[in-house]
Amino acid sequence: MDTRKLNKFTTCGGCIAKLPQGLLKNALGNIPAFSDPNLLVGFDTSDDGAVYQLQDDLAVIQTLDFFPPMVNDPYLFGKIAAANALSDIYAMGGQVKTALNIVCFPEDEDPAILGAILRGGAEKVQEAGGVLCGGHSINDKEPKYGLSVTGVVHPERIMHNNRCRFGDKIVLTKPIGVGMVTSAYKVGEASRESYEQAVAGMQTLNKYAFDIAARYRIHSCTDVTGFGFLGHLNEMVTNDYSIRVDSRQVLYIPEAWRLAEEFLVTGGGQKNRTFLQAKVCFYNVPPAMEEILFDPQTSGGLLISVAADDATALLAELNTLELASCIVGEVVERAEHNIVVYG
């Protein structure tokens, strides 16, 4: 099995392959509205999963995610894709219960490659404490893999993405810059060290960070994927408040700065910039840092809105994990822009 050539099938992989936010919002406007008192979270708030209440103390979370490979190793690709799909359950405050595979694969390729992808995904479902129950596959020239995941949550403990409170601190639980690093590594422009940092983050379940955060007064949560740090932070904002970011506190893979300065950026990052240009303003932020903040992430960390008095303790406990977390900003009174970024 040639594990070095998985990327030969793809032009872009991971969450970089997501459709741009503007296109999605226009398309969703054509879907009829559904009215059901038990539908607690639908697609109207761009949240991480749908939540449907079954009993007074029980609701199910449903989500799915899949994409083309962003790494050459099929086994590693399976782990990353699964970790990314499972993340939505944690972002909603839930526990993983079951998962189904979603597979696209060329029928004339080595089945051992597909087997390695599926093994990687199954191991991540197992690590999450869930059960892999089956799935669906189709013949496709471009491999794609992911999961449909079902989780459970108490209706009163759902984590919405837009329930921040004034004064809350915003915590990020994984360094960013993954999109630029993996894309540059694919064409020989990034170091092995940076690539391994990106891989370590992408295959780490957000379960561990959320298990810690759940012990504190957290008010909102989402995960950072293809719309980048700023795109997903923007989804946490409402008309009642804005979020102020100190870009000097945002952790990123160090080589991402050089890649940004050399314009080794992704098309997905530029789509994110276009969509957000009227929603975000920058003050004294270096251009390279702007690119890092727009960079699409695959299986990125959580953005958590936590009560200010709990933020320091939460950060200290999160930083006992292998991946570093950081306090990146705070919830402030409504400003002209959704997000104000300072350098």
Instruction: Fill in the amino acid letter for 342.
Output: Y
Contacting residues for 303 by C-beta, under 8 A, at least 6 apart: 170, 171, 172, 173, 221, 222, 223, 224, 229, 232, 233, 236
Contacting residues for 257 by C-beta, under 8 A, at least 6 apart: 288, 289, 292
Q: What are the phi and psi torsion angles at 225 (to 5°)? A: -130, -130
Structural tokens at position 81: 């894709």
Q: Of residues 12, 15, 221, 326, which has the active-site annotation?
A: 15
Structural tokens at position 181: 């690093």
218 neighbors 306 (Cβ within 8 angstroms): yes
User: Is 15 noted as a catalytic residue in this protein?
Assistant: yes
Residue 58: other Cβ atoms inside 10 A: 11
Q: How far is CA 133 from CA 81, 128, 147, 301, in A?
A: 17, 14, 11, 26
In angstroms, how far is CA 136 from the centroid of its own chain?
Answer: 23
Pairwise CA distance, residues 233 & 239, whole Å = 14
Structural tokens at position 271: 């789509």
Active site residues: 15
